Amino acid sequence: MKTVLSSLTDVELQKFIMDLGEPKFRAAQIRDWLSRGAPDFSVMKNIPNTLREKLDTVAQTLPVKIVKKLQSSDGETTKFLLELNDCEQIECVLMRTTYGNSVCVSSQAGCAMGCKFCASTLLGLKRNLTVDEIYSQILVAQWELRSALSDDKQIHANGDPNNNDVSHIVVMGTGEPLQNTENVIGFIERANKDMNIGWRRITVSTCGIVPGIYDLIKWGRPINLAISLHAPVDELRSTIMPINNKYKIAEVLQAADEFTKLHNRQLMIEYILLGKKDENGETVLYNCTPEYAEQLSKLLAGKNCMVNLIPWNAVDERDFASPSGNAVHRFQDILIKNGIHCRIRRERGTDIGSACGQLRLNNKKD
């Protein structure tokens, strides 16, 4: 098995290079390439060919390799399907926005949570990702951002807020981050230290693992917390999110309140708007009727929160339908009338493959 160089400490990397009979300073040169997300050794232009070839036989730069890369037609979104060393696959998404470059990373290969609208859980949970595997997703994105630049611009990009670096992270890809809390925390600490990404630019999204939220409180870093709520009442939520049978809405919001008050942060609430087909093939609203909008308003009244409304993205294997634009706006209007901050999440990269987890699912079926 090849050694993954990005997983080595500086001392370990030096030893590895010197054991190959090479001078110590090569380790620093290679480290520089690794920190930029170099996908392989062929790009390391200041390393002699002979060493690059030698490295290629015994080592790899990252613990992931790109299987597929899809670019949206507007150039704003790049979606990666990545393969891990045990052949499990994960997805990550790079989004170029007006406020910076944001990467959505996966924390697990697959997911055990069983949310009824989600493609990521259809093949179950395979395993937790390591710190290095999660971190390598932002390195892949970083390389993508920088590879378009000349060497000169790469140097000047450092320190410039409008530069081509990853600036924001959301742990919202495949998996439930708070089922892999230790490695997610390790990843965030590393992204903050090694990539200088501020706590307030990092968001962890959970389906509502209450003990995990308290673990984040104990950890004490002022990151952002997002709760995938998707329903204002337990009866409805339990039909689409099995985790609600274990942790009820009130308990989840209590823990989330404690987190956000501790750090004086605005809580993010994720709400997917789902429809269903009736027996006549007509779409009827499932969790986004006007009554549910009123109930959601009551539930969130007085909270410092922002509701992200996400019109459902079709997943063939899932038995839901997209609500009409009118229904989406009516739901939003009721929240606004009741004083709840909310926005409809802009759909990104719809031309490059759909919902979270679907790229991986389709590839497994091929």
Residues labelled catalytic: 91, 356
List binders of ligand SF4 among 177-196 (CB under 6 A): none
Choose between 61 and 206: whose C-beta lies nearer to ligand SF4: 206
Window contacting ligand SF4 (CB under 6 A); options: 47-55, 114-122, 286-294, 315-323: 114-122
Q: Which is nearer to ligand SF4, 38 or 361 (CB)?
A: 361
214 pairs with which residues across the strands? none
Tell me if 174 contacts ligand SF4 by CB under 6 A: yes
- Of 222 and 242, CB closest to ligand SF4: 242
Nearer to ligand SF4, 243 or 293 (CB): 243
> Which residues, 6 or more positions from 171, have their beta carbon under 8 angstroms from its beta carbon?
104, 105, 107, 134, 177, 184, 187, 188, 202, 203, 204, 205
* Cβ at position 164, least distance to ligand SF4 in Å: 29
Per residue in 252-272, is it b (16+ CB within 10 Å) or e — as a string?
bbebbeebbeebebebbbbbb
Total residues interacting with ligand SF4, rule: CB under 6 A: 12
Residues 209-238 touching ligand SF4, rule: CB under 6 A, are: 228
Task: By CB under 6 A, tell whether 176 contacts ligand SF4.
Answer: yes
**Contacting residue, 5, 118, 204, 269, with ligand SF4 by CB under 6 A:** 118
DSSP 317: T
- How far is residue 362's CA from residue 366's CA, in Å, rounded to a whole number? 6
d(CA 235, CA 240): 10
Task: Tell which one of 207, 225, 226, 227 touches ligand SF4 (CB under 6 A).
Answer: 207
As a whole number of angstroms, the distance between CA 33 and CA 41 comes to: 9
267: nearest Cα among 185, 340, 178, 177: 340
Could you say which residues in the range 336-355 bind ligand SF4, by CB under 6 A?
A: none
Whole-angstrom CA distances from 331 to 70, 230, 263, 284 are 32, 13, 30, 14
115 forms part of the interface with ligand SF4 (CB under 6 A) = yes
Out of 113, 138, 315, 340, the residue judged to bind ligand SF4 by CB under 6 A:
113
- Window contacting ligand SF4 (CB under 6 A); options: 64-72, 112-120, 130-138, 275-283: 112-120
**Span interacting with ligand SF4, options 37-45, 117-125, 217-225, 276-284, rule CB under 6 A:** 117-125
Closest CA to 136 of 85, 207, 201: 85
Q: Which of 62, 43, 54 minimizes the C-alpha distance to 19?
A: 54
Piece of the chain touching ligand SF4 by CB under 6 A; list 74-82, 169-177, 187-195, 289-297: 169-177
3-class secondary-structure state, position 228: strand
DSSP secondary structure of 126-152: EEEPPHHHHHHHHHHHHHHHHHTS-HH
Please say which residue, 39 or 212, places its beta carbon nearer to ligand SF4. 212
Comparing CB distances to ligand SF4, the nearer of 113 and 334 is 113
Rounded to a whole number of angstroms, the minimum distance from the CB of residue 193 to ligand SF4 is 27
In angstroms, give the least distance from the CB of 32 to ligand SF4: 35
The dihedral region occupied by 185, where left means phi > 0, alpha psi between -120 and 50, and beta the remainder, is alpha
The pattern of x and - marking residues 255 through 284 that bind ligand SF4 according to CB under 6 A reads ------------------------------
If the CB atoms of residues 27 and 229 are measured against ligand SF4, the closer one turns out to be 229
Collapsed DSSP state (helix, strand, coil) of residue 303: coil
> Where do the DSSP E strands lie in the chain?
3-4, 59-60, 64-71, 77-84, 89-97, 100-105, 108-110, 125-128, 168-171, 202-206, 224-228, 267-273, 275-277, 283-285, 305-311, 342-344
Span near ligand SF4 by CB under 6 A; candidates 7-15, 65-73, 156-164, 171-179: 171-179
Residue 24, sorted as left (phi over 0), alpha (psi -120 to 50) or beta, turns out to be: alpha
Please give the residue ranges that form the binding site for ligand SF4 (CB under 6 A).
111, 113-115, 118, 120-121, 174-176, 207, 228
